[in-house]
């Protein structure tokens, strides 16, 4: 589901037990280095805001930021709050489940409401 969009990027929500957003370039660049400087600057600006806000709001064990794109060759970044109590920690969210989650998190909808005006 699309959460935010401007002329250069858009952000989608990834349904998950952990807070997880995906940031995409509007144009379908295959590699980050192919992005024009204004697009790269916008990506870093938005990644910085999301990380800071996730750290402040959720106080996670770690923020994970990943960019693989092997299945989808379109520049995008996954930004997720990780917790020792999540089902996959310390493994990647798309890896093998380690346990049943015992997470009790603050509202993701409220987080998004607070994040949106900062973008």
pLDDT of 61 over the 80 cut: yes
For the domain 2-118, what is the CATH code?
Answer: 3.30.428.10
Give pLDDT, residue 107: 97
- Reported as a pLDDT band with limits 50, 70 and 90, residue 72 is confident
Give pLDDT, residue 73: 80
pTM for the whole structure = 0.94
Distance CA 6, CA 102 (A): 36
User: What residues pair up with 4 in beta bridges, in sequence order?
Assistant: 11
Distance CA 70, CA 30 (A): 10
């Amino acid at each position: 589901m699309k959460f935010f969009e401007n002329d250069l990027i858009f952000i989608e929500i990834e349904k998950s037990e952990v807070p997880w957003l995906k940031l995409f370039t509007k144009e379908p660049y295959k590699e980050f280095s192919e992005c024009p400087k204004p697009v790269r600057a916008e990506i870093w600006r938005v990644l910085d805001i999301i990380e800071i806000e996730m750290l402040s709001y959720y106080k996670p064990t770690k923020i994970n930021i990943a960019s693989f794109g092997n299945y989808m060759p379109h520049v995008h970044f996954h930004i997720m709050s990780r917790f020792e109590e999540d089902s996959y920690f310390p493994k990647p969210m798309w890896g093998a489940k380690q346990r049943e989650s015992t997470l009790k998190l603050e509202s993701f909808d409220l987080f998004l409401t607070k994040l949106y005006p900062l973008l």
